Homo-oligomer: A and B are copies of this chain.
């Protein structure tokens, strides 16, 4: 079998930025008002006072310093705490597709490919903004690609699972050149009234162009050496937001904004259960491939939480990893869900040498773990 390479990547982050300072100011104003309005009930012990947050807490808990969002308007207003996002209709790209197209064009340019050479567009995102028709088909049309397109999702690990899926299609001959695009529009899915999760996510899209090694002309070029995918069910990260809410009995307007309609996470359980699974999966993969961890020059890890990444890198390497060995993008982009590890790969790979090995690894909700070993060809 011939090899599949990643011959181009792209990253689009919307220009609007929300710093921790801004987010905390909004959250604390909401907490203050809530506690004042409910002062009597709190004093009677009927209600627990909400706890304010701080930039120090957020940065210590996650490593995140800011996040990009598609629309900032409305998000910080304590009467709303939700972006003002007019629905995109006929003749308009949906927000996800718009982000995706911007990232895809960079990947095409880097690979030296025209859109009409692409016969497979795979949109891999943790949620779908517009399932009818699929977001991937919107992207395919806007770029002018041919062939076929579809959407896939497996929460946080979608990007690596999608790379693997496109790789399969190229190896089997179903596609020659594939664009794998990860537009993550999380800002409307966040409960900005929840101290433990309101700071986690940012919006961003990444793109990778995949083709057969013998056809690739671009540089840098990364060969996909080995892939390992694993899922194991957990409810510790979930959301109940879907079309079925419309069909619930005794439905009220408020129900659409209940906590379970947003991203919900039990962070400590996720840490305890997921971290050993990640290490075991990657160690098993390297062992089976007879690859020594010392030969892996870079770990492009999922960008959800700096403490998770430090743990994983330390377990794998048997020592602390330098920032060069395990680059950090989450300080600037926050957790861009499945796009995270590709952001790291996109930004931090130019200094590797031909022959060097690296690992792209995404993990999280599902639980899902996707681990891809790549070798720099040139």
In this assembly, does A131 line the interface, its C-beta being within 8 Å of a C-beta of chain B? yes
Query: Are B233 and A141 within 8 A (Cβ)?
Result: yes
Query: Are A155 and B171 within 8 A (Cβ)?
Result: no
- A54 CB to closest chain B CB, in angstroms? 27
Specify which of B84, B137, B141, B152 is in contact with A152 (CB 8 Å cutoff).
Answer: B152
CA A164 to CA B151, docked complex, whole Å? 14
CA A128 to CA B85, docked complex, whole Å? 22
Task: Determine the interface band of chain A, counting residues with CB < 8 A from chain B.
Answer: 35 or more
In the complex, the count of this chain's copies comes to: 2
Interface segment among A35-43, A98-106, A239-247, A322-330: the answer is: A239-247
Query: Are A154 and B150 within 8 A (Cβ)?
Result: yes
CA A168 to CA B188, docked complex, whole Å? 35
Query: Are B134 and A247 within 8 A (Cβ)?
Result: no
On chain B, the residues within 8 Å of A246 by CB distance are 82, 188, 241, 256-257, 261
In this assembly, does A65 line the interface, its C-beta being within 8 Å of a C-beta of chain B? no
CA A94 to CA B244, docked complex, whole Å? 10
Specify which of B85, B174, B239 is in contact with A244 (CB 8 Å cutoff).
Answer: B85
Specify which of B188, B231, B244, B249 is in contact with A150 (CB 8 Å cutoff).
Answer: B231
Specify which of B94, B131, B171 is in contact with A127 (CB 8 Å cutoff).
Answer: B131
In this assembly, does A300 line the interface, its C-beta being within 8 Å of a C-beta of chain B? no
Name A235's closest neighbour in chain B (CB-CB): B90
Query: Would A133 and B172 be within 8 Å (CB), given that A244-B188, A247-B82 are in contact?
Result: no
A365-378 interface bits toward B, Cβ cutoff 8 Å, 1 = contact, 0 = none? 11110000000000
CA A152 to CA B128, docked complex, whole Å? 10
In this assembly, does A343 line the interface, its C-beta being within 8 Å of a C-beta of chain B? no
CA A95 to CA B245, docked complex, whole Å? 13
Interface residues of A in 116-135 (CB under 8 A from B): 126-134
On chain B, the residues within 8 Å of A244 by CB distance are 85, 87-88, 94-95, 129, 185, 188
In this assembly, does A223 line the interface, its C-beta being within 8 Å of a C-beta of chain B? no
CA A213 to CA B152, docked complex, whole Å? 27
In this assembly, does A45 line the interface, its C-beta being within 8 Å of a C-beta of chain B? no
In this assembly, does A311 line the interface, its C-beta being within 8 Å of a C-beta of chain B? no
Query: Are B154 and A164 within 8 A (Cβ)?
Result: no
Query: Are B161 and A172 within 8 A (Cβ)?
Result: no
Query: Are B132 and A238 within 8 A (Cβ)?
Result: yes
Query: Are B126 and A132 within 8 A (Cβ)?
Result: yes
- A155 CB to closest chain B CB, in angstroms? 6
In this assembly, does A351 line the interface, its C-beta being within 8 Å of a C-beta of chain B? no
- A256 CB to closest chain B CB, in angstroms? 6
Interface residues of A in 64-85 (CB under 8 A from B): 71, 74, 82-85
Can you list 5 A-B contacts (CB < 8 A)?
A128-B128, A131-B242, A150-B231, A188-B247, A246-B261
Complex A-B, nearest 10 residue pairs according to Cβ-Cβ distance, in ascending order: A141-B233, A150-B154, A168-B168, A85-B247, A148-B229, A188-B247, A253-B253, A132-B239, A152-B152, A168-B172
